Structure 1
Amino acid sequence: MRVIVWLLILPLSNSFPIVTEELFDHSGERPPQTHTQSLSQFTRLYDTLSVLVKDEYKNTIIAHSDEEFRIDYEIKNTNESLNIADFNANNSIKGELFQGDIRISVTQLEKIIDGLINDDEEINGSGIEEDGNDYTDNDIIHRRKRRQTIKGIDVKWSEGVPYSFHPLLSLKARNLIQDAIHFWETETCIQFRPRFFESQYLYFIAADGCWSTYGVISHEIGHALGLFHEQSRYDRDNHISLDPLRVQLGYIFQFSKIPASQLSTYNLPYDVGSIMHYAPNEFSSFSFMPALSARDPFLQQSMGQLGGPSFLDVAILNIHYDCRMKCPVKIPCSNSGYQDARDCTRCKCPSGFGGVDCRDIESPTIIKCGGVLNATVSPRQLTVNIKANIMRTTERRCIYHIVAPQNSVKIEIKVIEIDGTCQYGCWKEGMEIKTQSDPRPVGYRFCCIRQNKTTIISYRHRIPLMVYSRGKNTRTVIHYRYLRDSENEEMSSGETINRTMNYSNEELNGDLRRGDRVSMLLNNKTEVDEHFRKRRDTKWKYEDEEEFVTEDRPL
């Protein structure tokens, strides 16, 4: 049988997507059934899902801020609001697709609905009870009970992933697909190989627009390896809000959740910046009026990125495929990193962190564009300008860590100027700041002019900051400082404060080995105070005629 990885078309299984007998037989052909019959079954089941979602959100009223409207309008005017569902808008079988890009069997869809309804009786493929009576809206709503555990089949590619290309697939598309395959293979313990005679394999066929971006390809291969959409997690309402009034008529079912019986999160945190997450405007009535809003408003522009898989996208597959078993001798990792199954002597680190054990700064892709920035009580200004270079197709990154002199103080960052490519996900040109309590999810991203004058205050004494570009000019100006104890007490309750974890003195000592190469004993307060006193008057500037200009100076 074949898994056809056609733009946004993938089979799905209980906990993770995989080829199933319901979708294809061993000859590679579908079970005998007319397209009209199949579409009729999906229509009935999607109608049931629509009822469930409408009932869950029937009393939901979302208060959208003026700032959100201004940013959405700016994105509309840049023509950068395209999302994955848009690629599939003209697909001939779009009526059968689950959540816009997953080819699912009737049986699998029934299991999802059964888990959501929590009914003791089963629903057959026609959406009709076994006694032949149609479900009504009230039947579906009132028969909901507490979720029960339904044991699904734990599926994975146990012997590697064979794949094959359609003969008409272009060379450019093949190269992009190979890049995405190479990423998943090097970042996990999953093995890919060209298909010979295997009956189960990935099949990439020729389709307009399907393979136009590395991010879209990575997203679709992610489904084939076992990933659902991030926003379909059963705990999503703790992190994002759905405005049902903004959803396209007849498409509310695309926002259904996956019940716990059909989904494994492995206790990993929710990631708004996952490559598997819907864009805010996915299935929205208007491209500039998002149906999804992050509960933390600073995360709104991190949603819907198509730059590539996030740290957590990779982590969950490493867990699912038991990659940690490849390393018999375990090593410790800092900052929520974990052992690399491809190199057991090193750790895989969240973005912004690097080194053997994730205690250093991630190496920038632009030489000398990064390092440690020691915050002082007086504001300092950091300016980073990555110059346009259309010949560079890969991401260029400057990476800094803003560090305060004591573990207990707060750091204030003001975004003075941001000039990037304004789009959902801010994945082309922009800046990312990580001040959350957990360093693993994607942080706050900035790429729109209307995000200027934003102030972020963090309890973390070390903040990773990344400025990046995929070809165009990117300019970022921020002011940063640490707050005195008296200022901490006077902070108004209206400010957004991101409580984050503290780091030990030993960890911070390790981090200061990079950047401007400051070396000091943090348990000696006199040395620390003297160092930061001198720092107030220092200024440095790096410039590369072809790559970047960066400057750090006191105000």
Structure 2
Amino acid sequence: MCLKFINRIYSKRSLGRLVRCTERKIKKDDMPVSTIIQSNKHADIAVSTGFKNADPCTARECKWERSTDGLVYVPYVISNQYSPDELKVIERGLWSFVDVSCIRFVPHEGQRHFLYIKSHSGCYSYLGRQGGGQVVSLKRPGCVYHRTVQHELLHALGFHHEQNRSDRDKHIKILFENIKPAQRHNFMRRETNNLATPYDYKSVMHYSRKAFSRNNEPTMIPIPDRNVVIGEARSMSRNDILRINRLYCRTLNLY
């Protein structure tokens, strides 16, 4: 039986149960990172005027505000471009945060800051709260999959790609010679806030082994074990969920 997060304190064992419950809900609408990257020609972090995607999302204005009840409400609007089945996939992605965190994506009702989910040019999101209405693009076809919805929503909450972590050189080797020149910036190391969590090859935020390859050769290799699978996540990992709670949710006893 899946637990519900209603402002409660959970142990690490309970969090593991929540993750497993979430994973069991995954259906045919999933697509791994490797397939998404192959279908997306551009980076999936948008950059607004005066805001660089190299900057860590640590400033107060970058985070969504926590309410007095301990929950973080993120308003959203979904474009009418989507079919009923696509809408169900998007809504399931939004609701997947309820079981495992204090994040609540709620329909927009006049709030100043909100997400505008629409079918634009590819799969992308801005990094963290930008102010006003900000686009989360889930292009149809190609981007409306459960893991992609989660991936872009995590960007909107302020999370970078896993392979951009400040400690990534201890866990992965980037092969810049195999990367398309216009996409090399996607593989630069960032000064990230890792929230005392380990590097996670299973993160839904991790690129695949041949992401943005110019010659069908690997653009990154796990170290020391080069055979570790990367970029195949179909939903948020335990560490993805732990980071959300450490950044936003004070009511969880996870430290």
TM-score normalized with structure 2 length: 0.70
* CA–CA distance in structure 2, aligned partners of residues 217 and 87 of structure 1: 15
- Paired residue secondary structure (2:115): strand
1:314 to 241, 246, 255: 241
- Counterpart position of 2:197: 268
- Quick one: which amino acid aligns to residue 310 of structure 1? S
- Counterpart position of 1:215: 147
**Aligned residues of 1:239 and 1:296 also touching (Cα < 8 A):** yes
- Paired residue secondary structure (1:326): coil
Distance 1:281 1:161, change over 3 A: same
1:339-382 CA distances to partner (integer Å, 9 max, x unpaired)?
9xxxxxxxxxxxxxxxxxxxxxxxxxxxxxxxxxxxxxxxxxxx
> Displacement, 1:210?
4.5
- Paired residue secondary structure (1:312): helix
> Displacement, 1:235?
0.9
Distance 1:233 1:197, change over 3 A: same
**Aligned residues of 1:163 and 1:202 also touching (Cα < 8 A):** yes
1:193 and 2:106 correspond: yes
1:101 and 2:44 correspond: yes
From the CA coordinates, give the structure whose radius of gyration is larger: 1
1:297 and 2:210 correspond: no
- Quick one: which amino acid aligns to residue 112 of structure 2? S
- Quick one: which amino acid aligns to residue 278 of structure 1? Y
Distance 1:285 1:199, change over 3 A: same
Q: CA RMSD in A?
A: 2.5
**Aligned residues of 1:240 and 1:292 also touching (Cα < 8 A):** yes
> Displacement, 1:300?
2.6
- Counterpart position of 2:130: none
> Displacement, 1:156?
2.0
Higher relative contact order (CA 8 A, sep 6+): 2
- Paired residue secondary structure (1:300): coil
- Counterpart position of 1:84: 36
> Displacement, 1:110?
8.2
> Displacement, 1:299?
5.1
> Displacement, 1:293?
0.2
2:174 to 242, 263, 284: 242
**Aligned residues of 2:161 and 2:205 also touching (Cα < 8 A):** yes
- Quick one: which amino acid aligns to residue 319 of structure 1? R
1:281 and 2:210 correspond: yes
* CA–CA distance in structure 2, aligned partners of residues 173 and 271 of structure 1: 29
- Counterpart position of 1:163: 76
1:254-307 CA distances to partner (integer Å, 9 max, x unpaired)?
211212xxx2111211101110011111111133x2110000326532x10231
* CA–CA distance in structure 1, aligned partners of residues 189 and 174 of structure 2: 12
* CA–CA distance in structure 2, aligned partners of residues 81 and 254 of structure 1: 15
Structure 1 unaligned segments of length 5 or more: list them.
Answer: 1-79, 95-99, 116-150, 331-337, 340-555
1:113-144 CA distances to partner (integer Å, 9 max, x unpaired)?
xx9xxxxxxxxxxxxxxxxxxxxxxxxxxxxx
Structure 2 unaligned segments of length 5 or more: list them.
Answer: 1-31, 68-72, 120-138
TM-score normalized with structure 1 length: 0.33
- Quick one: which amino acid aligns to residue 100 of structure 2? E
**Aligned residues of 1:215 and 1:275 also touching (Cα < 8 A):** yes
* CA–CA distance in structure 2, aligned partners of residues 307 and 171 of structure 1: 22
- Paired residue secondary structure (1:250): helix
Q: Which has the higher strand share?
A: 1
**Aligned residues of 1:215 and 1:306 also touching (Cα < 8 A):** yes
1:420-443 CA distances to partner (integer Å, 9 max, x unpaired)?
xxxxxxxxxxxxxxxxxxxxxxxx
- Paired residue secondary structure (2:149): helix
- Paired residue secondary structure (2:173): strand
- Quick one: which amino acid aligns to residue 219 of structure 1? H
Percent of aligned pairs with the same residue?
25
1:226 to 146, 158, 162: 158
**Aligned residues of 1:279 and 1:305 also touching (Cα < 8 A):** yes
Distance 1:307 1:247, change over 3 A: same
- Paired residue secondary structure (1:161): strand
> Displacement, 1:326?
2.5
**Equivalent residue pairs, number:** 198
- Paired residue secondary structure (1:108): coil
- Quick one: which amino acid aligns to residue 35 of structure 2? N
1:6-55 CA distances to partner (integer Å, 9 max, x unpaired)?
xxxxxxxxxxxxxxxxxxxxxxxxxxxxxxxxxxxxxxxxxxxxxxxxxx
**Aligned residues of 2:204 and 2:231 also touching (Cα < 8 A):** yes
